[in-house]
Structure 1
């Protein structure tokens, strides 16, 4: 009986610890800047931990293990190499961020370069993307509790609601400081547990590493020749790989970490370390999927891999695995929640008010209400949409076709007019609608990357075809 309840006790203890840490490090910020990006004196190690905690989500863990099992070598290359390379590219872009390091959000950066209306559009799109991301993490929490803890569906949802309310609570009251400290706790939690889980799955195979490699070499999905086989399904994977390759300029929670850095050099160093640690963490996650494939003889359905895990680990580690999933989900969700609240207050609400009426106290109040409303909305939305992969692609569809191209051009030194940016954004959005209706519906190939290119090309065409005011163009 004690063994049956042990995972539940471990999960409950972790949630209580998270709440205590979040509340303990919460404080009433006196300025909105402190709430949004802190004092900009964070240690590089702290920034690396919070960025990695934000990147590695519960949904990502579930998805990566399932797809490394299902798609084999192609997914391994996508997750291991392309993801890390994307973060390395982002680190190289940080040297160009000096003009924007005083900003609080990517929407403000867009507003400084392109004007009020592109800023507002960026803010609205970023909020939509953040809600999708938070929803994904709450779904991951439901999966974690349902898989690992012996509860019925109703009880599992109650535990998930408690976890969601905990992260909403410290996000509301603590601002970025509480979010960062809890991110560090959650980062330590899942980076300790994931390698141990990989080792347990390796032990379960009963084979040596040489035998495992030999076995995988006999499986078609893990052979190099599988990369040369092209069909519409494979092209869809290529399209997704291109989306992953693009630096996360349209992710408000990641860009918020950039603005938390003291200067571009610290931001560059942070994301360089992130790219290196990403390779290691992702490697362990993918090994879990490979060892499950070998242990199950390749006979399992991809949807059953987590049930394989929970039936082949002791009760104590079943609870540890559950809190690992919860830690990854909560660390990503609270970052998205805080970044989204900052954007609502700073980039949507404040520009619509008279400047003299929007002091820091009012902006803080709006941000806290936004945190509560967005968090609760995402929690209820999560119970009506369960497809993590579809939500991932929806997140890409929000940001890449609209935000990423103008943001990348701005960081590289392009200074365009509002008209130029609006033409690009409208082109990207309309291209996404057209692609989804007439191309993806027939082929299944995602067009997010193509629509991002359409955005950038439309901006360049508008800039060079129309007369521009003095000062518009490339500043570098």
Structure 2
């Protein structure tokens, strides 16, 4: 049997197993709350696994391996220290989520604080961001199937569409329980394979760890002195680092996992563990890229990195690498699909019509899953640049939703007018930045536009007449400092 057939068999077996697990843990007769966040009695280990599976997608894996090779120490600091620190900050914020833990989505939290129009806007932004996230995972699946199995583009797309339809199927019928259980399966899959891949890439270098370290020190992009060279490239990296470092409480798929916790203390514990284990996962991903840099040679182009990895693995392991990437992509995509279905039925339709029973909500949610999945496929086949889609995702979430969400968590209770002024300011700022500033500077403006959103909200609150109920509730400078 050729490696082509072996890899295809491994992929087919993994997809079949995923479908069976998803269907087995699906429940037909459930309430909408159970569909959205389950029974809120999940074990901490289960929540840690599903958060990690959601957070680390196939697109990010491919991108990080390529960009460590391309940018060196800049990208290592960005994805290791900054990302883990951001998750740790997120865990601190969870201690302040007590008043909102009964919610089903971040859009509902925004609605409880600022009213129905900010709630609808938050849901729409979250849906767009989720579609972008799913598209990134579909692109990753197409790419890895074509590289690992050696199929042409059309056949790779067919397998990817099949994988997408499988995750749509169990997301439609099973709700968050099926998504969570399949996430655990996918988490076990990729966390088992990634360390073996790192070890295999180390063996291809033909060097000891000390020799690898000495070699990297001779390369300018991996020297600490390169960080002191302040130029436009460094400014662009800092801008992205700030976007990653902000606890993106507006990310709907991550917040959905927080709402699945029994309370704020469990949520805090979950994300504290996630920050630790994420550091380990990122560490292995960085090692893969460093060993490829050493073994493949300095002149290896970024586009050829994954071809080099696959060419230096056995026929059996080619299939294992492929299902590892599929597991990472599917575990992220199904979470985004699920949260979209909740926001459409619970935050948009229920807000507009106000009285919708659980049966109708579930029908709307399941129809939404199918529509969003198909829309994501269309976007994936239209735009194939993972970094471009990552920046587009930042442009949706940070400038519009993150500032109002952070202020709400810290105790700010504003009016709909205040929130809408901030959201409009952030949206207009990012449009202007992307049109005129970024083409010249190549610096992402999502973080700056998020600050503009928050400042506009504070200006509107203190300069315009407000009702007595508006203002800061149960928050002081001292408590904020203690939280962090």
CA distance in 2, matches of 1:378, 1:425: 25
Q: Which residue of structure 1 lines up, in the alignment, with residue 262 of structure 2?
A: 262
User: CA offsets per residue over residues 383-431 of structure 1, 9 Å max, x none?
Assistant: 1110000000100100000000000000010001111101100100011
Q: Which residue of structure 2 lines up, in the alignment, with residue 287 of structure 1?
A: 287
Structure 2 counterpart SS, 1:168: helix
Q: Which residue of structure 1 lines up, in the alignment, with residue 399 of structure 2?
A: 401
CA distance in 1, matches of 2:160, 2:418: 45
Q: Which residue of structure 2 lines up, in the alignment, with residue 3 of structure 1?
A: 3
CA distance in 2, matches of 1:138, 1:297: 30
Q: Which residue of structure 1 lines up, in the alignment, with residue 99 of structure 2?
A: 99
When the two structures are superposed, what TM-score results if normalisation uses the length of structure 1?
0.99
Which range moved further: 251-260 or 432-441?
Answer: 432-441
Contact 1:36 1:104 in 2 (8 A): yes
Asked if 1:213 is matched to 2:213, the reply is yes
Q: Which residue of structure 2 lines up, in the alignment, with residue 331 of structure 1?
A: 331
User: CA offsets per residue over residues 209-235 of structure 1, 9 Å max, x none?
Assistant: 000000000000000011111222221
Q: Which residue of structure 2 lines up, in the alignment, with residue 347 of structure 1?
A: 347
Asked if 1:317 is matched to 2:317, the reply is yes
Q: Which residue of structure 1 lines up, in the alignment, with residue 90 of structure 2?
A: 90
Structure 2 counterpart SS, 1:383: helix
C-alpha deviation, 1:150, in angstroms: 2.3
Q: Which residue of structure 2 lines up, in the alignment, with residue 431 of structure 1?
A: 429
C-alpha deviation, 1:47, in angstroms: 0.2
CA distance in 2, matches of 1:97, 1:177: 23
User: CA offsets per residue over residues 181-226 of structure 1, 9 Å max, x none?
Assistant: 0000000000000000000000000000000000000000000011
Structure 1 counterpart SS, 2:469: coil
Asked if 1:194 is matched to 2:194, the reply is yes
Query: Mapping of 1:24-423 within 5 angstroms?
Result: 24-355=24-355, 358-423=356-421
CA distance in 2, matches of 1:417, 1:13: 53
CA distance in 2, matches of 1:156, 1:437: 35
Structure 2 counterpart SS, 1:41: coil
Aligned residues: 474
Q: Which residue of structure 1 lines up, in the alignment, with residue 17 of structure 2?
A: 17
Q: Which residue of structure 2 lines up, in the alignment, with residue 460 of structure 1?
A: 458
CA distance in 2, matches of 1:426, 1:194: 42
Contact 1:29 1:35 in 2 (8 A): no
Which ranges in structure 1 are unaligned for 5 or more consecutive residues?
A: none
User: CA offsets per residue over residues 345-388 of structure 1, 9 Å max, x none?
Assistant: 00111111141xx1000000000000011001111221111000
CA distance in 2, matches of 1:443, 1:326: 36
RMSD between aligned alpha carbons? 0.8
Which range moved further: 465-474 or 250-259?
Answer: 465-474
